[in-house]
C-alpha cells in the first residue's frame, strides 16, 4: 500500500474523544484506511480516547480525518484534535497496542 515516490504525501495525527473504545473504532478505522489506501496506525489511549496517524494523498487523508469525526456507527465522538506532522513514509495500516 506504499505511495509511489513523487506523489505528495501528508500526515495527520488525530486524537478522538468520546465513547470511542469498545465500539470497533480501531478495526473500522483500519478497514476504512485500507479502502482509502492510507497508511498509518491507530491505538487506544489510557484516558479512553483513540489516537491515530494517517499518511497518504491529501484527499484520502482528508477523507479519513472526516470519518474520524463520525467513527463507526456505534461510536459517540465528542471531539477530534488534528495535528499536522511530517510524513514518516509508513506502509500499511496497523492497530497498535495501547500504551498502558
List the grid coordinates of 89: 513514509
What order do you get walking across the sheet with 50-56 strand by strand?
76-85, 10-19, 50-56, 39-44, 93-95
List the grid coordinates of 83: 495535528
Strands 50-56 and 10-19: antiparallel
- 31 belongs to the catalytic site: no
Name the catalytic one among 11, 12, 30, 44: 44
List the grid coordinates of 11: 500526515
- 8 belongs to the catalytic site: no
Least Cα distance to 38 among 87, 8, 85, 2 occurs for: 2
Name the catalytic one among 26, 37, 73, 89: 26
> Catalytic residue numbers?
26, 44
Amino acid at each position: 500500500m506504499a505511495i509511489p515516490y513523487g506523489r505528495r504525501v501528508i500526515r495527520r495525527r488525530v486524537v478522538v474523544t468520546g465513547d470511542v473504545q469498545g465500539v470497533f473504532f480501531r478495526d473500522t478505522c483500519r478497514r476504512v484506511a485500507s479502502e482509502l489506501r492510507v497508511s498509518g496506525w491507530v491505538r487506544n489511549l489510557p484516558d479512553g480516547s483513540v489516537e491515530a496517524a494517517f499518511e497518504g494523498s491529501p484527499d484520502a487523508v482528508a477523507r479519513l480525518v472526516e470519518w474520524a469525526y463520525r467513527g463507526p456507527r456505534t461510536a459517540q465522538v465528542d471531539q477530534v484534535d488534528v495535528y499536522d506532522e511530517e510524513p514518516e513514509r509508513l506502509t500499511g495500516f496497523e492497530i497498535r497496542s495501547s500504551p498502558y
